[in-house]
Structure 1
Amino acid sequence: MAFELSAFKVINRFKPHILMILLQICVASVYFLTEDSFNQGLNPHIYVTYRHAAGSLMMFPFAYFLERKIRPKLTLAVFLEIFLLSLLGVSLALNLYFASMKYVHPTFMTAVVNTIPCMTFIIAVVFRLEIVDVRSPRGIAKILGTLASLVGVMVIAFYKGPAVPSLKGAPIHLGTNSVHENWLKGSILTVASCILWSSFYIMQAFTLKKYPAKLSISAWMNCIGAAQSAVYTIIVQPKAAAWSTTSGIDLWCIIYSVS
């Protein structure tokens, strides 16, 4: 009994850390599921549209009922800011990000996406939104942490070690027929999407000060981002047949990424 209580205390103490690790595992698995789904014919831009359309349907009820007493009036200026946020953080960033999956491996994408905090910090310093005192331990820690993170990501992304064979008894085997033939193009798309995400995070902080209803902003961004992505997809993929999901993994991939 004492052991169970001790274990419960340890789990409760490190609950945020455990949840963060589980979240990263779930996010990483999305990349491999989406790559397999793309290999089977799902268009990346259609995936982004469906994903955020489903996300908006899920978020609007929570936003309406949970924030009806604290939600301020949505002015035209705030709506235009949310429109721009959707463009940066949803339609542009995600369409570029998942389009790059045709050219680079998910391992590279997972590594590069970890540079977003570093890019956000650098952009904030450049625009004087973040003040770094190089004479204080905190300022030095920020600089060293940013450099260490960038070096670590570069090592993971560019170092090519020996191949590790997959386990024969693994319960799930994803397809491996993807063709990564333009590494430079894929890298540019991935890095561009990360820069857009960093800009999105900085701008989002300003918008939340004017419109402090997080669930409502999230619901609107999902809805507007889905509409923006749909318009872009119709331009680049005018065939109506492309909008149909041809395999079960497509549907589960969309549902899993939303949840």
Structure 2
Amino acid sequence: MEQKRCSFVTKCRDFKPHLLMVLVQFGYSFLYLITNASFDHGMNPFVYVTYRHILAAVLMFPFAYFLERNARPKLTFSLFMEIFVLSLLGVSLTINMHFASLKYTNPTFIVAMLNTIPTLTFVIAVAFRFELLDLRNSRGIAKVLGTLISLAGALIIALYKGNLMRNLWRPLIHIPGKSAAINESWLKGSLLTVLSCVTWSIWYIMQAATLKRYPAQLSLVTWMSFVGAAQSAVFTVIVEHNRSAWTIGLNIDLWSTIYGGIVVACLITYVLLWCTEKKGPVFVTMFNPLSTILVAFVAYFILGEKLYLGRSIYNHHWYVLATVGQK
């Protein structure tokens, strides 16, 4: 009996990164929906990114300071510049482009395009020897096939729709006034989404290298939040001249900022760093297709967003095949 229990605990420990990454995708799925509603309410995406990472830096600082006081390496100038670039790629540049694109597209399209990140990350990881590729065994071949399936799936979801599925009932939550803006600026939103996927892939690779030099996840999350918030604030001041954009009330804007700061910028970023250190950047990105299914489901059944038969069928098969292939 005791041996069986030890075996069960060992298996749970082995699959801990997998379970955490599944929870991360649930967290991301809700993030897209709540920020989508906030931006339609009038929240400036650049202000949102700045506020959420200020909140994250303030909340993470005491944990990082006390819990990693003895484990934290000395912060040299070269290491700080590395964190500066990491913050640029992981916070200010990438996330600003990412959420700016949400104003011009929709959550389903964005999370579908995020499925190119495993492919990009795998290619970059192999090129810089963070990931070993051996085509002489089945595992190496499976990785290549999974990468090709991920890329094909992203292209199909982006380009192929199929027949429009009729909504079964009226949307439970209605977000007005977005369809016109989407039609007028879809190309702009698509370009921003693609660019954010490229920079995000580089960020996953770079954070794996930084963790080897600075193996203190809490402190690294705090530094990235603080530096990223400062970078985003400077950028927002340059492009946003309306002072009222910095004012948020007791509404969806505040709740989306709190959720983004606590759950995403703090907890999820820490989990991503931990899983990257344990399993590598390619493992972390292979769970992205799950959020595509979750967001499409919620957008269709709750928000009343259009869903096409070709995408819905392919989402399921593509997620299974891509995940198996990347493992």
State the TM-score, normalizing by the size of structure 2: 0.71
1:109-131, Cα deviation, whole Å (9 max, x unpaired)? 11111221221111122334433
Q: Supply the AA of the counterpart residue of 1:214.
A: Q
Determine the structure 1 residue equivalent to 2:260: 257
Change in CA separation of 1:166 and 1:103 when aligned onto 2, cut-off 3 Å:
farther
Change in CA separation of 1:44 and 1:66 when aligned onto 2, cut-off 3 Å:
same
Give 1:101 deviation, angstroms. 1.1
Partner Cα separation in structure 2 for residue 15 and residue 87 of structure 1 = 29
Partner Cα separation in structure 2 for residue 135 and residue 221 of structure 1 = 39
Question: Where do residues 174-185 of structure 1 align in structure 2 (5 Å cutoff)?
Answer: 174-178=174-178, 179-180=181-182, 181-185=184-188
SS at match of 1:143: helix
- The question of 1:46 aligning with 2:70 is answered no
Determine the structure 2 residue equivalent to 1:69: 70
Structure 1: gaps spanning 5 or more residues:
1-8
Q: Supply the AA of the counterpart residue of 1:66.
A: L
Question: Where do residues 17-28 of structure 1 align in structure 2 (5 Å cutoff)?
Answer: 17=18, 19-28=20-29
Structure 2: gaps spanning 5 or more residues:
1-7, 264-327
Partner Cα separation in structure 2 for residue 36 and residue 66 of structure 1 = 36
Q: Which has the higher contact order (CA 8 A, sep 6+)?
A: 1
Give 1:15 deviation, angstroms. 6.8
Determine the structure 1 residue equivalent to 2:95: 94
Structure 1 counterpart of 2:228, from 225, 235, 256: 225
CA contact (8 A) 1:116 1:195 kept: yes
Partner Cα separation in structure 2 for residue 16 and residue 66 of structure 1 = 22
Determine the structure 2 residue equivalent to 1:162: 164
Give 1:246 deviation, angstroms. 4.1
Change in CA separation of 1:199 and 1:16 when aligned onto 2, cut-off 3 Å:
closer
CA contact (8 A) 2:84 2:224 kept: yes
Determine the structure 2 residue equivalent to 1:5: none
Q: Supply the AA of the counterpart residue of 2:164.
A: P
CA contact (8 A) 2:118 2:150 kept: no
Determine the structure 2 residue equivalent to 1:4: none
SS at match of 1:135: coil
Partner Cα separation in structure 1 for residue 171 and residue 246 of structure 2 = 35
Q: Supply the AA of the counterpart residue of 1:249.
A: I
CA contact (8 A) 2:101 2:192 kept: yes
Determine the structure 1 residue equivalent to 2:291: none
Change in CA separation of 1:174 and 1:32 when aligned onto 2, cut-off 3 Å:
farther
Partner Cα separation in structure 1 for residue 220 and residue 136 of structure 2 = 38
1:38-91, Cα deviation, whole Å (9 max, x unpaired)? 111110000000111111111111111110111111111111110110011110
Question: How much identity, in percent, do the aligned residues show?
Answer: 54
CA contact (8 A) 1:53 1:223 kept: yes
Determine the structure 2 residue equivalent to 1:188: 191
Partner Cα separation in structure 1 for residue 20 and residue 203 of structure 2 = 24
Partner Cα separation in structure 2 for residue 34 and residue 166 of structure 1 = 25
Partner Cα separation in structure 2 for residue 47 and residue 234 of structure 1 = 13
Determine the structure 2 residue equivalent to 1:81: 82
Partner Cα separation in structure 2 for residue 250 and residue 164 of structure 1 = 31
Give 1:174 deviation, angstroms. 4.2
- The question of 1:34 aligning with 2:18 is answered no
Partner Cα separation in structure 2 for residue 164 and residue 69 of structure 1 = 59
What root-mean-square deviation, in Å, do the aligned CA atoms of Structure 1 and Structure 2 show? 2.3
Partner Cα separation in structure 2 for residue 108 and residue 76 of structure 1 = 40
Give 1:221 deviation, angstroms. 0.3
Partner Cα separation in structure 2 for residue 205 and residue 17 of structure 1 = 18
Q: 145-154 or 65-74: which moved more?
A: 145-154
Aligned length: 249
Give 1:139 deviation, angstroms. 1.2
Partner Cα separation in structure 2 for residue 97 and residue 22 of structure 1 = 21
Give 1:135 deviation, angstroms. 2.1
Change in CA separation of 1:164 and 1:185 when aligned onto 2, cut-off 3 Å:
same
Partner Cα separation in structure 1 for residue 44 and residue 54 of structure 2 = 15
Large movers: runs of 4+ above 6 Å: none
Determine the structure 2 residue equivalent to 1:205: 208
Q: Supply the AA of the counterpart residue of 1:175.
A: I
